[in-house]
Structure 1
Amino acid sequence: MADMESKQGPAESHDPFGDEETTEVQYKTLQWWQSGILMIAETVSLGVLSLPATVAAIGIAPATVLIVGLGIIATYSGYVIGCFRQRYPFIHSFADAGEVLLGTPGRLVFEVGQLIFFLFATGSHLLTFTVMMNTITDHGTCSIVFGVVGMLLSFICSLPRTMKNVSWLAITSFVSIFTAVLITMIGVAVERPGQGFDVVRHTSFVNGFTAVTNIIFAYCGHAAFFGFIAEMKDPRDYPKSLCMLQGFEIILYTVASAVIYRYAGQDVTSPALGSTGPLLRKVAYGIAFPTIVIAGVINGHVAIKNVFVRLFRGTELIHERGLRATGAWVALTLAFWTLSWVIAEAIPVFSNLVSLISALFASWFSYGLPGVFGLYMDFGNYFGSTRRTVISLANLGLVVVGVTVCACGLWVSGVAIHNDSSKTSFSCANNA
């Protein structure tokens, strides 16, 4: 990237949290490893559970190439986000980045886009919560009731206002998802419920590209990266957090998806925790309980914080614990999780919801927009040297990936939702 010197940007070109030495609520408290744990908990959650079904759709060889390849590309795009934040250190969210690029219209578009993305992402967590509860209880009650329970639990866990407090929950989430995936891998290896596997599998364009969007969903944490950087003690340590995330997720995604598909075969479920026998399935979902809730809470917390900062940026309320500040946070949190629950009930098929999220949002936040950021920073200096030319082409490639995934992904997810009549919206039926 071009030089990293800070430049003045929009009118609100100042740190949203300012000097916190004497404030009641302090936000800039994350060590790099805490930020890394948060990034892992936010990203490595439901995404890994959709990957074995992705491998089943296209075969183990192309799926492995896509998982590793898209992971490497996502690492570069995450690095570009860090460079953009270092160039414009007042950025707290994609909305601020949109204002740098396009002024007020850019802020509005990016602000609405990131909020809708987080609503859909947290909706997928609430949907998985209902699947988990139906599995553990053998459909003990109406699925809508389970959804409401998940919403209330997520609301309560989202009440802390700082990332540092949430980061301790993230450690539990990290251990939870890793253990649940490990149990699933061991379970399918012992039970061997599948009948062989395909190295390459011929499939339709809709099924094949849906598989691609499921992989992209597994790398869709980038929308929260600006928020994590903004609450780090030293934002210059962000590359360490990024490497911690990407190294862990690429290895876990590749190994877990290949092993589970190898032994579960073509009938592997999405989420993958349902691929084991009845008892182990319940055990795996029980252990995954923390990550199903906490990873959604982290996404929700970032979204709520973006709105909170937008409302109170530059005022004393942002650092106060008084009735107005606390009441505003609680009200925003309740409104957010209520809307998220509505989305979860409206699109009750996990793989279809994942595909739609990837096409609409992950295509841009994880790939397309970082490419735009890189091209913006290097404007007028695209081909000054061989290194500059390579970087410019890489950034242009990110934009092409974003546009392609958005256009094709919207079409295939729309077809899949239209054709899938197995589940109905706002239903008490068992969705396990």
Structure 2
Amino acid sequence: MDEKNKETDVSPPSSLEGGAIGYGRQGDLPDERRYHDVDVFGREEDHDIQYKTLSWELVAVLMIAEIVSNGMLSLPSSLAVVGLVPGVILIVFLGSFGLFTSWILIQFKLRHPEVHNMGDAGMILFGPLGREILSFGTIVFAVFATGGQILAGQIALASLSDSKLCLMLYTGIFAIPTLLFSLPRTLDQLSWLSVPSVISILVAGIVGMVGAGTNFGISDWSVVISTDFTNAFISVTNPVFAFAGHFMFFILISEMRHPTHAMRAAWVLQTFATLFYVVFAVVLYIYVGSEVTSPAFSSLPIKWQKAAYGIAIPNFLIAGSLYSHTASKLIFVRLFRKSRHLHSHTVVGWGVWTALIVIMNGLAFVLAVGVPIFNYLIGIAASLFASWYTYGLAGAFWLYDAWVDKGKFAAWKERWPMTGLSVLTLIAGGFICVAGMYVTVKQIVDAYASGEVSAPFSC
């Protein structure tokens, strides 16, 4: 066989295959030279396809593009449930909490360069079963999130055209460019598309706020509203899911030139998202009031609604593409981690990659148009997985590294403040998961009881 066509090992042995890799005391930053020797993509200088090309600035843009998207459009309605002050406190707290868990995830990634995704992290913490569960959860959540963005695009296109076509057609129209934009093999190629995506959601949010401020007087907003647990927890789940992007962090950091700079990107993301969410939610709630809908743009007068949705379309497209890219990338790297197909322009490599992209986007489209309760299923998927990926699992990551680092319980006892925070993080993830599931299932039951659920594949 020609030497050029032989399978080559492009990834060194890792803890996923038996040999744990560590960098000394917890919190120490690794020597980047050694990091690149042992990470998932290895040394890439001589490869055709090079993944590790992202700067921290572009990673920040990618993070914002996939997180600050249609999820923010539910935040004003959360304030309408619990009131202005509790809603703002909740958004700020969850944004700050997300920054804390980002730090833990990044430290874990730096100490375990071989980790490419949540499934790999699950292998380290829980063994083969953990790997399969967390990989499956990542794929499911990414596909459902893609479907959610396709539905957001459907709403935008319907608004722009006064709903002159069947909604299923709008969904199909939006799904095609979403698929095409997710085709690039590396995140670097998608990062440049993410720049206009971030600009579009920022401008769309500003247009929405201007539209609310110029067309409504000060409304019937309240400082605090008393409500029942179900409605109150909906106001919790909305901002939780608006910050739900941590499941992509390992994949993003794996394609950075300097992974030790990842925390800079996390600071930019969480600061921008938290401030923008607060301002957007407060302005829309104060001017539109208790009648504000989710998505919030639909509460605006028609011309402002069309303007906001039209400007936001690039963001919905790129966010959906990033999600489907993530699901495909996880499987692709799993299949070809030690193969030349990962780094070379081979027929097999491109064939499998294209097939994965088509399958993931196809699943998202079918779910979006064929499952009448798909919006609620997104809530279930987010409760089951995003609660852990964004919050809960970070506690497990820290506890694991501390346990391995300095002698089991002694390490936990010595670092008791972080141990306590990590345990609370685990508990918080579990609570959000269980309560979110309860609230979403109750919403499904109520929707069926009220006849709100439409037929599959209907207009």
Instruction: State the 1:427 CA deviation.
Output: 4.4
The answer (yes or no) to whether the contact 1:382–1:389 under 8 Å persists in 2 is no
Deviates more, 1:321-330 or 1:170-179: 321-330
Q: Does 1:388 align with 2:415?
A: yes
SS in 1 for 2:127: helix
Who is 2:173 aligned against? 149
Q: Does 1:58 align with 2:88?
A: no
For residues 259 and 27 of structure 1, the distance between their equivalents in structure 2, rounded to whole angstroms, comes to: 41
For residues 172 and 226 of structure 2, the distance between their equivalents in structure 1, rounded to whole angstroms, comes to: 40
Who is 1:243 aligned against? 267
Q: Does 1:106 align with 2:130?
A: yes
Who is 1:270 aligned against? 294
Q: Which amino acid aligns with 1:210?
A: I
1:262-314 CA-partner distances (Å, limit 9, x unpaired): 00111112111112100110111000010011111112111111111011110
The answer (yes or no) to whether the contact 2:142–2:324 under 8 Å persists in 1 is yes
For residues 152 and 412 of structure 2, the distance between their equivalents in structure 1, rounded to whole angstroms, comes to: 49
Who is 1:10 aligned against? none
Change (3 A) 1:254 1:233: same
Change (3 A) 1:402 1:232: same
For residues 94 and 311 of structure 1, the distance between their equivalents in structure 2, rounded to whole angstroms, comes to: 16
For residues 386 and 101 of structure 1, the distance between their equivalents in structure 2, rounded to whole angstroms, comes to: 20
Who is 1:422 aligned against? 452
Which of 343, 346, 356 does residue 332 from structure 1 map onto?
356
For residues 411 and 39 of structure 2, the distance between their equivalents in structure 1, rounded to whole angstroms, comes to: 33
Which of 139, 144, 161 does residue 163 from structure 2 map onto?
139
Kindly report which structure 2 residues correspond to 1:107-122, keeping only aligned pairs within 5 A, or say none: 107-122=131-146
Kindly report which structure 2 residues correspond to 1:175-214, keeping only aligned pairs within 5 A, or say none: 175-192=199-216, 195-214=219-238
The answer (yes or no) to whether the contact 1:210–1:355 under 8 Å persists in 2 is no
For residues 374 and 187 of structure 1, the distance between their equivalents in structure 2, rounded to whole angstroms, comes to: 45
Q: Does 1:413 align with 2:440?
A: yes
Give the TM-score taking structure 2 as reference length.
0.88
For residues 409 and 366 of structure 2, the distance between their equivalents in structure 1, rounded to whole angstroms, comes to: 45
Kindly report which structure 2 residues correspond to 1:163-178, keeping only aligned pairs within 5 A, or say none: 163-178=187-202
Who is 1:80 aligned against? 104
1:127-173 CA-partner distances (Å, limit 9, x unpaired): 11111111111112111111112221111111111111000110011
The answer (yes or no) to whether the contact 2:29–2:260 under 8 Å persists in 1 is no
For residues 116 and 148 of structure 2, the distance between their equivalents in structure 1, rounded to whole angstroms, comes to: 25
Change (3 A) 1:250 1:193: same
Change (3 A) 1:199 1:387: farther
Change (3 A) 1:423 1:181: farther
Instruction: State the 1:347 CA deviation.
Output: 5.1
For residues 348 and 183 of structure 1, the distance between their equivalents in structure 2, rounded to whole angstroms, comes to: 31
For residues 107 and 335 of structure 1, the distance between their equivalents in structure 2, rounded to whole angstroms, comes to: 22
1:391-410 CA-partner distances (Å, limit 9, x unpaired): 11111111010000111110
Change (3 A) 1:139 1:427: farther
Which of 360, 363, 367 does residue 343 from structure 1 map onto?
367
For residues 217 and 271 of structure 1, the distance between their equivalents in structure 2, rounded to whole angstroms, comes to: 14
The answer (yes or no) to whether the contact 1:349–1:423 under 8 Å persists in 2 is yes
Q: Which amino acid aligns with 2:88?
A: T
The answer (yes or no) to whether the contact 2:119–2:135 under 8 Å persists in 1 is yes
Give the TM-score taking structure 1 as reference length.
0.94
Q: Which amino acid aligns with 1:422?
A: E
For residues 272 and 46 of structure 1, the distance between their equivalents in structure 2, rounded to whole angstroms, comes to: 10
Change (3 A) 1:385 1:309: closer
Who is 1:35 aligned against? 59
SS in 2 for 1:378: helix
For residues 385 and 307 of structure 1, the distance between their equivalents in structure 2, rounded to whole angstroms, comes to: 35
Who is 1:309 aligned against? 333
For residues 422 and 403 of structure 1, the distance between their equivalents in structure 2, rounded to whole angstroms, comes to: 30
For residues 185 and 351 of structure 1, the distance between their equivalents in structure 2, rounded to whole angstroms, comes to: 25
Q: Can you give the 5+ residue segments of structure 1 that lack an aligned partner in the other structure?
A: 8-12
Q: Does 1:373 align with 2:397?
A: yes
For residues 3 and 402 of structure 1, the distance between their equivalents in structure 2, rounded to whole angstroms, comes to: 23
For residues 298 and 150 of structure 2, the distance between their equivalents in structure 1, rounded to whole angstroms, comes to: 17
CA RMSD, aligned part only? 2.0
Q: Which amino acid aligns with 2:272?
A: F
Q: Does 1:23 align with 2:47?
A: yes
Q: Which amino acid aligns with 1:426?
A: P
Change (3 A) 1:349 1:275: farther
For residues 412 and 163 of structure 2, the distance between their equivalents in structure 1, rounded to whole angstroms, comes to: 62
The answer (yes or no) to whether the contact 2:392–2:429 under 8 Å persists in 1 is yes
Change (3 A) 1:299 1:231: same
Q: Which amino acid aligns with 1:71?
A: G
For residues 356 and 281 of structure 1, the distance between their equivalents in structure 2, rounded to whole angstroms, comes to: 28
Instruction: State the 1:381 CA deviation.
Output: 5.3
Change (3 A) 1:217 1:348: farther
SS in 1 for 2:415: helix
Structure with bigger gyration radius: 2
For residues 391 and 167 of structure 1, the distance between their equivalents in structure 2, rounded to whole angstroms, comes to: 34
